[in-house]
Structure 1
Amino acid sequence: MAAVHPVIAAHAARVRAVDPLAGGQVGLPAPGPNEGAIEVADAVGLTSVDRLDPGTMNATWSPLVVHRLWGRVGGRDPEAALGALLDRWLAGLSGERGPDKALAVQWPSRDTAAVRALTMRGFAPMVVTAARPSGAVRSGLPAAVGRVRMRAATQADTGDVARLYEALVAYDAQFGWVTMRPSTRNGIAESLGSLMHDSWCWVAEVDGVVAGIVMVEPPQRARWVASAVTTSPIAYLSAMYADPAVRGQGVGAAMVAVAHAHLDASGVATTVLHHAVPNPLSAPFWARQGYRPVLTQWVRHLPPG
């Protein structure tokens, strides 16, 4: 077995000490196509670039061009080490400009020793990967009862699910990372059939009208995000939305409670989700449901040209 790079070993040990749940910190893969390796004193990194087709559904979730850095830092001054790594990376991108382009760095949320290096270079926290261990107890107001009927979604609900899913995307687009593109509506409609078939999906009826959805990818479908945490199996809560007309009435909590009961009974160890850091509704809501940040994506939009 090859020896672990000392910087990566130090990075992994520091992160493990502050958050044993944060995954994906024990190594860096060898660079592949469109990837590169960079190294400075006490820091190593892998660089990559995403170039998305605007006609695809994937283009909804980020700018069309995203340059990414996956960093590992050690030494006595993690902030200085990360700063030097960022400077080396940014120097190679000094001529990169244009609309719909950005930079992104994912960092363990509780590893705060280095993050000042990001803020001082114009990065802001944009997306959190949050996790809930099985059996976590929710807090806050009780889930709604009475007028709310929770049930599994069927293909007959596809139109309502698409309507609410589109509203969710439009709301998230306000915060500057998700984008409602001309292709988004068709992308949602085309993907929902397989998504609903392969996921656990529930709808909330309020006075007989579908007013909320919650969708969860089971472990076999959630492998793409499994490295975010150190436990397994995991599930991925891909969507939760309540119509604004019923917010504040416990409908969202009722939907999530049904999903969590199913996940806990199914033996899922940890459920993860993504939410926008600037979203004023997400952070307090998900904290009440037992979630907390594990990984944070720090971003910086590039100048238009």
Structure 2
Amino acid sequence: MEIEKTLFDAHRARFSAIDRLLPEAAPAPVAGERVDAATAAGVQVTGVVQRQLHGPDDVPLLWSAADARQLFPFIGDTGTEGMDVLLRAWRTWLDAESPGEDSSCVVNWPSRDAEAIRAFLDHGLVPMSALAVRTGGAHDDAAENDVTVRRARAEDFEEVLAMAVSTHDYIGQVATRRRSNAAELLAPALEQALDKEDPLLWLAERDGMTAAFAHAAWITSSPGSAEAELLPLGRWGYVNNVVTVPGLRGSGLGRTLMAVVHKEFSADGASGTYLYYNPTNPLSSVFWHRQGYRPLWTSWEVHPASALR
């Protein structure tokens, strides 16, 4: 979908000024429905809305509503007012629909844009997820001397899956919805990871018992790829999930585990490492900042979609 050149140039310039780590702003999605608005001075702003429907067996249900509507805003240099009038227009646009309870409105936006944050808060959106990149400021030293870290094996599957489900249930209290079929949704990715000769899945053991695990992957941000819309170009280490058994959270196991993971990524030539975490999670929001990560993009959401103000 074409966006007016003047507006898109201002949009791209704004992203560049907000955060030096942001890649060049992507053009508007080809598919979707357009929403238009104007500021009091008559400056035009616009957005494209895409709708995604997920069935009961779709993996995105682990982090998404079943009926998600995402807005891609183009507000140029209009700041809070531009985002405000565009969200108002989106709210009016929603009046023609009847979203159910398991629905959401989503805007993924640069984390450092304070002017836009004011508009998001005013319209009932909350920071549900953040893509964070590691920029340093942390030492990769083990916090626990009595912990052994090793690569996971196929026979660890059941234990790792049970830990992943327990973490999903915890996150269901503070961020995304809890899904009753979480085990079935989580299992395929874990099985695929463990099926590899040298899986990017590490276990931390204490006294012979599994106490934590980290699941990671390699992601390439190349020109024209979906990843390049979010990350600088390069080969990135992606931290998919880090889990500590409930009774041992806060004891340094995660730090010890990630010291190994970060060193292995660095040794293999990673351009950097990134991950997603929930800002509303009182554990991960503290842990990852101490590990040297900081938000690059934040997903602002409201559930159900009809709650958008």
Q: TM-score, normalised by structure 2?
A: 0.87
Offset of residue 296 of structure 1: 0.6
Q: Relative to structure 1, is the Cα distance of residues 200 and 193 closer, same or farther in structure 2, using a 3 angstrom cutoff?
A: same
Offset of residue 3 of structure 1: 9.7
Offset of residue 4 of structure 1: 7.3
Query: What are the within-5 Å matches in structure 2 for residues 66-105 of structure 1?
Result: 66-75=68-77, 77-94=78-95, 95-105=97-107
2:33 to 22, 36, 47: 36
Aligned-partner Cα distance in 1 for 2:178–2:3: 42
Aligned-partner Cα distance in 2 for 1:83–1:248: 40
Cross-structure match for 2:153: 154
Please list the CA deviations of residues 64-83 of structure 1 after superposition, one character each: whole Å capped at 9, or x if unmatched: 111110112113x3111111
Please list the CA deviations of residues 243-273 of structure 1 after superposition, one character each: whole Å capped at 9, or x if unmatched: 1222232110011111100111111112111
Amino acid at match of 1:296: T
**How many residues are matched?**
295
Cross-structure match for 2:184: 186
Amino acid at match of 1:193: E
Aligned-partner Cα distance in 2 for 1:4–1:272: 33
Q: Does 1:259 align with 2:261?
A: yes
Cross-structure match for 1:277: 279
Cross-structure match for 2:40: none
Q: Relative to structure 1, is the Cα distance of residues 296 and 228 closer, same or farther in structure 2, using a 3 angstrom cutoff?
A: same
Query: What are the within-5 Å matches in structure 2 for residues 210-225 of structure 1?
Result: 210-219=210-219, 225=227
Cross-structure match for 1:47: 49
Offset of residue 29 of structure 1: 2.7
Q: Secondary structure at the match of 1:47?
A: strand
Offset of residue 229 of structure 1: 1.6
Query: What are the within-5 Å matches in structure 2 for residues 233-252 of structure 1?
Result: 233-252=235-254
Offset of residue 224 of structure 1: 5.5
Cross-structure match for 1:122: 124
Amino acid at match of 1:174: Q
What's the C-alpha RMSD, in Å, of the aligned pairs? 2.4
Q: Does 1:145 align with 2:147?
A: no
Aligned-partner Cα distance in 2 for 1:212–1:24: 37
Aligned-partner Cα distance in 1 for 2:116–2:63: 27
Q: Secondary structure at the match of 1:212?
A: strand
Q: TM-score, normalised by structure 1?
A: 0.88
Aligned-partner Cα distance in 2 for 1:254–1:224: 32
Offset of residue 14 of structure 1: 1.8
Cross-structure match for 2:17: 17
Q: Relative to structure 1, is the Cα distance of residues 22 and 178 closer, same or farther in structure 2, using a 3 angstrom cutoff?
A: farther
8 Å CA contact retained: 2:175, 2:280: no
8 Å CA contact retained: 2:7, 2:76: yes
Offset of residue 282 of structure 1: 1.1
Offset of residue 143 of structure 1: 2.7
State the 4+ residue runs in structure 1 displaced beyond 6 angstroms: none
Q: Relative to structure 1, is the Cα distance of residues 74 and 292 closer, same or farther in structure 2, using a 3 angstrom cutoff?
A: same
Aligned-partner Cα distance in 2 for 1:264–1:42: 45
Q: Relative to structure 1, is the Cα distance of residues 269 and 119 closer, same or farther in structure 2, using a 3 angstrom cutoff?
A: same
Gaps of 5+ in 2: 38-42
Gaps of 5+ in 1: none
Please list the CA deviations of residues 13-48 of structure 1 after superposition, one character each: whole Å capped at 9, or x if unmatched: 1221221212362422322xxx22233334222210
Offset of residue 163 of structure 1: 1.3
Q: Secondary structure at the match of 1:193?
A: helix
Q: Does 1:202 align with 2:199?
A: no
Q: Relative to structure 1, is the Cα distance of residues 18 and 139 closer, same or farther in structure 2, using a 3 angstrom cutoff?
A: farther
Offset of residue 210 of structure 1: 0.8
Aligned-partner Cα distance in 2 for 1:3–1:299: 24
Offset of residue 168 of structure 1: 1.6
Aligned-partner Cα distance in 2 for 1:110–1:54: 35
8 Å CA contact retained: 1:49, 1:65: yes
8 Å CA contact retained: 1:204, 1:213: yes
